[in-house]
Amino acid sequence: MLEKRDSCPGCRSQNYATLLEISYSDPDVFAFLCAYYCHADPDAIRGRLGDGALAIAECTVCGLIYQREIPDPDFMRALYADWIIEGDELAPSSKPMPLDHYTYLASEVMDLLAEQRLIVGSERRIRVLDFGMGWGAWLQMARSLGAMVYGSEISEPKIAHARSIGIPVLTPVQIGAMEFDLICTEQVFEHVPYPAELLQSLVASLAPGGYLKISVPPGHAVRATLSRWRWDDAFANQQKLMPVQPLEHINCFTSRSLDTLAGKYGLERAAVSPLRAMALSTGWHSVRSAAKNVLRPIYRFGLKRGTYAVYKRRNQGGPGDLGTR
């Protein structure tokens, strides 16, 4: 069944503007859900949704866009275990991803570890947590570069795979009892019912000088998309709806709303060097890749924009404070 969030899951304000509200029983909406969740029985979809509605709101205080009616815990388990059954292109049994996927992964890990090495020093290994680690590829890369790695995941097959390759998988209680120099969350915060509470718990496990990376789908175009959205051809244009995908992407962030949430828990964007990120980039094999290697660090770390962000606690040391810039 669905449950209602009566306040913003980011700042708890009850003031919001409605961007879209339509019953899940609307024929076009229901047809879209049946096409998108094609492995679920239509009667099961109808039974779970009841008389609920797709109600997308924008908080007038912090700017977070969120779905007011979301799956309850039992529905959430069914959604991710039974409804979403598709070929996982990142699974170890799948064919290799394009080269750009691996070069980007290597560049990102090298850059973040290099930044942390300036803070941690060379006497011990950097302690890394990937919260929502998936199949553990990010952690395997970090481990190969000398980090001490830990993961967290809810999927049993992914947990089993991580353990089979020697990655320790932690429970929330274990995470709360440890400190990490680098915490990675890749495509996590858009899915969780209570993003503020999750962020608070992760910040509590951040070591002095530690970095917290958050990467979520960008929501800057959502308001315009919803203003002209047509459900009769929704499935053909599903990618445009992706940042607020019904039932799944229940929180949608812009650069502003992500920074506002982070600031609530004493975080600010870290002084990550765009030049170092460029220098550590790999995959200069095409004009397109080279352009990304140059422009992406400028946007993320120079301008400090977008919904890929690396945070640190305010007034704590970072590479820029150590005179390394």
- Whether the pLDDT of residue 107 is over 70: the answer is yes
- pLDDT of 241: 96
Pairing of strands 16-23, 65-67: unpaired
| Per-residue pLDDT tens over the stretch 155-211 | 888 999 999 999 999 999 999 999 999 999 999 999 999 999 999 999 999 999 999
- pLDDT of 155: 87
Residue 105 lies in a domain: yes
Residue 91 lies in a domain: no
Q: How confident is the model at residue 322 (pLDDT cuts 50, 70, 90)?
A: very low
Average pLDDT of span 107-115: 97
Domain containing residue 41: 2-86+221-244
- Whether the pLDDT of residue 318 is over 80: the answer is no
Q: Are residues 82 and 133 in the same domain?
A: no
| Per-residue pLDDT tens over the stretch 28-78 | 999 999 999 998 999 999 999 999 999 999 999 999 999 999 999 999 999
Q: How confident is the model at residue 86 (pLDDT cuts 50, 70, 90)?
A: low
Residue 92 lies in a domain: no
- Whether the pLDDT of residue 316 is over 80: the answer is no
Q: Are residues 32 and 110 in the same domain?
A: no
Q: Are residues 198 and 257 in the same domain?
A: yes
- pLDDT of 272: 96
Q: Are residues 67 and 192 in the same domain?
A: no
Q: How confident is the model at residue 82 (pLDDT cuts 50, 70, 90)?
A: confident
Q: Percentage of the chain surpassing pLDDT 90? A: 88
pTM: 0.93
Average pLDDT of span 132-159: 95
Give me the number of domains the chain comprises: 2
- pLDDT of 323: 31
What's the chain's average pLDDT? 94
Q: How confident is the model at residue 317 (pLDDT cuts 50, 70, 90)?
A: low
Q: How confident is the model at residue 311 (pLDDT cuts 50, 70, 90)?
A: very high
Q: Are residues 50 and 109 in the same domain?
A: no
Q: Are residues 68 and 144 in the same domain?
A: no
Q: Are residues 229 and 212 in the same domain?
A: no
Query: Which CATH number covers residue 162?
Result: 3.40.50.150
Pairing of strands 65-67, 69-71: unpaired
Residue 94 lies in a domain: no
- Whether the pLDDT of residue 282 is over 60: the answer is yes
Q: Are residues 199 and 233 in the same domain?
A: no
- pLDDT of 285: 85
Degrees, nearest 5: CA angle 40-41-42: 110
For 251, phi then psi, to 5°, come to -125, 135
105 alpha-carbon distance from chain centroid: 15
- Whether the pLDDT of residue 320 is over 80: the answer is no
